[in-house]
Structure 1
Amino acid sequence: MKEPEQTHGLWNAIKNRTLPSAIASKFGTESAQQIAFLRSLNKGLRRPETLHIQLKELKTAVFDLETTGFHPKQGDEILSFGAVKVEGVQVQQDETHHVIAKTSKRIPEEIVNLTGITQEMADQAPPLVEALHGFMSFVDDRVLIAHCSGHDKAFLDLALWKTSKSHLGHRVLDTMMIAQRLHSDSHMVSLDEWLNWYGIPITRRHHALEDAKMTAYLWTALVDQLGERAVYTLGDLYVFLSHS
């Protein structure tokens, strides 16, 4: 399929650093490049052929966010990003990403105590658009995985809209939903409960990268169990999750 002229021109602008002067002057050239990248990355990510990939061969990025609260539309913000790449069922311990983001409001004391991220750390951190750009560059076009993903998706989507007027276009899988579907008689929700269930060591909680790593090992355990249910591809998984 021929690449749309507008998208082709945007990618050329990104690669050649020749963004429109109006965008560059408003945000600064570096920020404008980051915004353009964010807009472009989220186009065309739900390719149908991805549905036929074996889960044991699927390239994913397992991620977690720490936030200043639970209500993005009421002013809570992303405090840190953590992610690790997984090749099929192999967690890539040397392929990780972690960054703290500057916040526009003071961090509540209970969040400081929970995450260990102080106001001073946040004040010295890169602005959201820069931190978001780094995170999205790292995950690239991989399928995203998170535990209780609704929380993280809401924050990511709002951050993308605020910084680049784009929406999250990635496929996102939820380890909590998959685990609950595999164990329909269980009422467990939290990451700690499922980690304990699968015998995965709990290292450090409420740290974006460490939570992402533990979730990655939970994902690989789930993939093995899904195979026992004849759920082999991403398409199979969607069908499996759609059953009541």
Structure 2
Amino acid sequence: MKDMRPAGRMWHLYKMGGITPAITSMFDAQNAQQMAFIRSMLKEQRKNSLFDMPLHSMEIAVFDLETTGFSPYNGDEIISFGAVSVIGDKIEHGNTFYSVVNPKRKIPEDIIELTGITNEMAQDSPDLIQVLREFLEFVGQKVLVAHATGHDKNFLNAALWKTSKVSLSHRVLDTMMIAKWLMPKRKDLSLDALLDTYQIPVTKRHHALEDSLMTAQLWSKFMEEIKSRNVDTLGDLYALLSHY
């Protein structure tokens, strides 16, 4: 039986995730456990290469974040996470993740209008570290896919550093970059424009889960074209995208 007295719990958390969660445990045991889990998961993820993974069987999580603004290093925060599991080009509609987050700050009116997430909804939602842990549990060892990933990666990395002093170690693919490779002469690579081009019905924009589901459909369309170009593995795809 583990020793869960303060000193025993601190030693257990140190073994799981290092000195940071162990020190934090002196102040908030639940947050320290969340932190230790996050740090342990990302440490394991760094061990996986995945470059030889066949695209047709690759497990991915298409995800999206909604935020209070555009600058995670200037006070903006995540207000919702959405994700859907995909294997190869098959969307697992029954395997999704969605949660609103309490950003511990007021949500600007234009963001409320855009996302439909009110301050009242956010105040009744879990804190960032809890939702981040649940999101990473859902993602597991999957490759992450999003559209225009710069925004989402910046916010994810800021959240991981803020809560757990770690950085994202998952492989990330950007459907915007894939579109640029597939259609090099195309100017408008926005999600709305690509959804229209591929005749993917727009359900609800700027909702983290709905945007994830629509981006997953776009990924499925892209997979058909990727296969036709004899691109078989994640490493092959990365090599081609590195030129863009």
TM-score by length of 2: 0.89
Determine the structure 1 residue equivalent to 2:85.
85
Structure 1 residue identity aligned to 2:172:
V
Matched, 1:51 2:45: no
Match in the other structure for 2:160: 160
The alignment partner of 2:25 has SS state of helix
Secondary structure, aligned partner of 1:86: strand
Which residue of structure 1 lines up, in the alignment, with residue 24 of structure 2? 23
Matches within 5 A, 1:230-241: 230-241=230-241
Letter in 2 for 1:82: G
How far is the alpha carbon of 1:12 from its aligned partner? 6.8
Unaligned runs of 5+ in 1: 1-8
Q: Which residue of 2 aligns with 1:145?
A: 145
> What amino acid maps onto 2:25 in structure 1?
A
AA aligned to 1:227 is K
Q: 1 CA distance for matches of 2:49 and 2:172?
A: 16
SS across alignment from 2:93: strand
Question: For residue 162 of structure 1, what is the amino acid of its counterpart?
Answer: K
Give the structure 1 partner of residue 67 of structure 2. Answer: 67
1:41-71 deviation digits (Å, cap 9, x = unpaired): 1124255651111111100000000000011
- Measure how far apart 1:23 and its partner are: 3.1
Where do 5+ consecutive residues of structure 2 fail to align? 1-11
C-alpha deviations, 1:192-237, integer Å up to 9, x for none? 1111111111111000000001111111111110111121110110
> C-alpha displacement at 1:243, in angstroms?
2.9
Aligned to 2:3: none
Does structure 1 conserve the Cα–Cα contact (< 8 Å) formed by 2:91 and 2:216? yes
Q: Is the 8 A contact 1:69 1:76 kept in 2?
A: yes
State which drifts further: 188-197 or 152-161: 188-197
Native 8 Å contact 1:53 1:233 kept in 2: yes
Q: Alpha carbons of 1:102 and 1:229: their partners in 2 closer, same or farther (altered >3 Å)?
A: same
Between the two proteins, the alignment pairs up a number of residues equal to 230
Q: In structure 2, what is the equivalent of residue 3 of structure 1?
A: none
- Aligned-pair identity (%): 49
CA distance in 2, matches of 1:46, 1:229: 29
Partners of 1:147 and 1:174 within 8 A in 2: yes
1:131 match: 131
- Give the letter aligned to residue 80 of structure 1: S
Decide whether the 8 Å contact of 2:195 with 2:218 is kept in 1: yes
2:63/2:209 contact within 8 Å kept: yes
Which residue of 1 is the match for residue 204 of structure 2?
204
4+ runs deviating over 4 angstroms: 9-14, 46-49
Question: Are residues 1:214 and 2:214 paired?
Answer: yes
Q: Deviations over 1:62-89 (max 9, x none)?
A: 0000000011111110010000000111
User: Tell me, what secondary structure is at the counterpart of 1:39?
Assistant: helix
Distance (Å, rounded) in 2 between the aligned partners of 1:134 and 1:11: 21
SS at match of 1:52: coil
Name the CA distance, whole Å, in 1 between partners of 2:13 and 2:55: 33
CA distance in 1, matches of 2:123, 2:115: 15
Instruction: State the alpha-carbon separation in 1 of the partners of residues 14 and 83 from structure 2.
Output: 25
In structure 2, the residue matched to 1:227 is 227
Pair 1:162–1:98, CA change in 2 (3 A): same
Contact 1:66 1:81 in 2 (8 A): yes
Q: Hey, what's the Cα distance between the residues in 1 that align with 2:232 and 2:13?
A: 37
